[in-house]
């Protein structure tokens, strides 16, 4: 695996990888890699001739009181994992390479960026859309791989790709969970053993909603009540949102007949965790 730090080097390396008939896959990450990231890399490996991973803790997607400075940075371990997955190229720039002094151009997907996580993390999706747009320009991938765990991020990026005519296919890979249901996240590293036990309430609440939906409940209100009741079993968990929304617009849905996204976010100890489940149309 070749490691490059600058945009110029990345462009040259990508040109070498991308002969005319080759499919290039990009997996954007912020490092602190876990099996969820590796599932994206494996999906990219199986669908693409060449795989580029980016590793960049993007400062513009963190709010002033968020965890940018303590976000886990595990570069050596990340490189070993990516090497083992036969990644061709790792782009790991410094912040000044991505945002040169005086940078003042941003990408904002206006309405979607204020929904779900965007409501409690103002500016977050502007930072995500901006850095992903930059990565798409620098790497010019045919396919780009993202995790379903970040369902709102996926909705924002899909809209950006459509609105700005990016010539890239977004591939969304399923959530990877621990055997006890906890969705994998780099932020799980912040959890004590006790926090981790509390955090299980999120996947339990989603399962309860799925069970109710499978049993024939179609109105969002009783489904949400069932989910809230489960979360209330862990008073240490501070709920941010629990919603039933449209997968593309992230607007609240009164019913789930046409399919829906159930999304939850909560603070557990020092970590803000998110999780979700897709309800199929009936
Ligand atoms: O999902 C993430 O890890 C980040 O939001 C992304 C897409 C790498 C952009 O910084």
Q: Which is it for the CA torsion 243, 245, 249, 251, positive or negative?
A: negative
Mean pLDDT, residues 16-32 taken together? 92
**30 within ligand 1 shell (Cβ under 6 A):** yes
Range of the domain at 231: 186-277
Mean pLDDT, residues 6-17 taken together? 97
Domain's final residue, options 147, 173, 199: 173
Both 99 and 199 in one domain: the answer is no
pLDDT digits (tens, 9 = 90+) for 31-64: 999 999 999 999 999 999 999 999 999 999 999 9
- Residue 21: is its pLDDT beyond 80? no
What does the H/E/C string look like for 133-196? HHHHHHHCCCEEEEECCCHHHHHHHHHHHHHCCCCCEEEEECCCECCCCCECCHHHHHCCHHHH
**247 within ligand 1 shell (Cβ under 6 A):** no
- Residue 210: is its pLDDT beyond 70? yes
Flag whether 50 is in a domain.
yes
Phi, psi of 202, rounded to the nearest 5 degrees: -70, -50
Q: Whose CA is nearest to atom 9 of ligand 1?
A: 128
Instruction: From the CA of 157, give the closest atom in ligand 1.
Output: 7
Both 73 and 212 in one domain: the answer is no
Instruction: From the CA of 54, give the closest atom in ligand 1.
Output: 8
Both 268 and 240 in one domain: the answer is yes
Both 155 and 69 in one domain: the answer is yes
Percent of the chain's residues with pLDDT above 90: 98
Is 37 one of the catalytic residues?
yes
- Please tell me the predicted confidence (pLDDT) of residue 20: 67
pLDDT digits (tens, 9 = 90+) for 90-122: 999 999 999 999 999 999 999 999 999 999 999
Flag whether 237 is in a domain.
yes
C-alpha span between 30 and 56 (Å, rounded): 5
Distance 33 CA to ligand 1 centre (A): 12
- Please tell me the predicted confidence (pLDDT) of residue 282: 86
pLDDT digits (tens, 9 = 90+) for 152-171: 999 999 999 999 999 999 99
Residues 6+ apart with CB under 8 A from 243: 116, 224, 252, 262, 263, 264
Flag whether 246 is in a domain.
yes
pTM for the whole structure: 0.98
User: How sure is the predictor about 19, in pLDDT bands with cuts at 50, 70 and 90?
Assistant: confident
Both 160 and 208 in one domain: the answer is no
**29 within ligand 1 shell (Cβ under 6 A):** yes
Both 192 and 97 in one domain: the answer is no
| Number of domains observed in the structure of the chain | 2
Both 126 and 201 in one domain: the answer is no
Both 74 and 134 in one domain: the answer is yes
Mean pLDDT, residues 15-31 taken together? 92
Both 142 and 216 in one domain: the answer is no
Domain's final residue, options 152, 173, 194: 173
Domain's final residue, options 173, 200, 227: 173
Both 168 and 211 in one domain: the answer is no
**28 within ligand 1 shell (Cβ under 6 A):** yes
- For the chain, the average pLDDT equals 97
Both 209 and 169 in one domain: the answer is no
C-alpha span between 108 and 207 (Å, rounded): 33
Mean pLDDT, residues 208-214 taken together? 98
**168 within ligand 1 shell (Cβ under 6 A):** no
- Residue 72: is its pLDDT beyond 80? yes
Both 157 and 253 in one domain: the answer is no
CATH label of the domain that carries residue 206: 3.30.1300.10
- Residue 253: is its pLDDT beyond 90? yes
- By most ligand atoms within 8 Å of CB, the mutation choice from 61, 141, 188 for ligand 1 is 61
């Amino acid at each position: 695996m070749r490691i490059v730090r600058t945009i110029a080097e990345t462009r040259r390396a990508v040109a070498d990888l991308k002969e005319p008939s080759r499919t290039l896959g990009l997996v954007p990450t912020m490092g602190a890699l876990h099996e969820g990231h590796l599932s994206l890399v494996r999906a990219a490996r199986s669908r693409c001739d060449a795989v580029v991973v980016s590793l960049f803790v993007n400062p513009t997607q963190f709010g002033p009181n968020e965890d940018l400075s303590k976000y886990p940075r595990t570069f050596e371990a990340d490189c070993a994992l990516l090497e083992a997955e036969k990644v061709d190229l790792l782009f790991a720039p410094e912040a000044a390479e991505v945002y040169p002094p005086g940078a003042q151009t941003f990408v904002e997907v206006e309405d979607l960026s204020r929904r779900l996580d965007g409501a409690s993390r103002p500016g977050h999706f502007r930072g995500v859309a901006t850095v992903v747009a930059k990565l798409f320009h620098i790497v010019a991938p045919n396919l780009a791989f993202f995790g379903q765990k970040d369902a709102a991020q996926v909705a924002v990026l899909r809209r950006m790709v459509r609105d700005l005519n990016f010539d890239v296919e977004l591939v969304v890979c399923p959530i990877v969970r621990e055997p006890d249901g906890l969705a994998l996240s780099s932020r799980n590293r912040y959890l004590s053993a006790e926090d981790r036990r509390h955090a299980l309430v999120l996947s339990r609440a989603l399962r309860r909603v799925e069970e109710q939906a499978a049993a024939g409940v179609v109105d969002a209100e009783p489904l949400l009540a069932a989910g809230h009741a489960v979360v209330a079993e862990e008073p240490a968990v501070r709920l941010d949102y629990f919603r039933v929304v449209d997968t593309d617009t992230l607007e609240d849905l009164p019913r789930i007949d046409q399919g829906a996204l159930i999304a939850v976010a909560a603070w557990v100890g020092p970590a803000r965790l998110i999780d979700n489940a897709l309800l199929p149309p009936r």
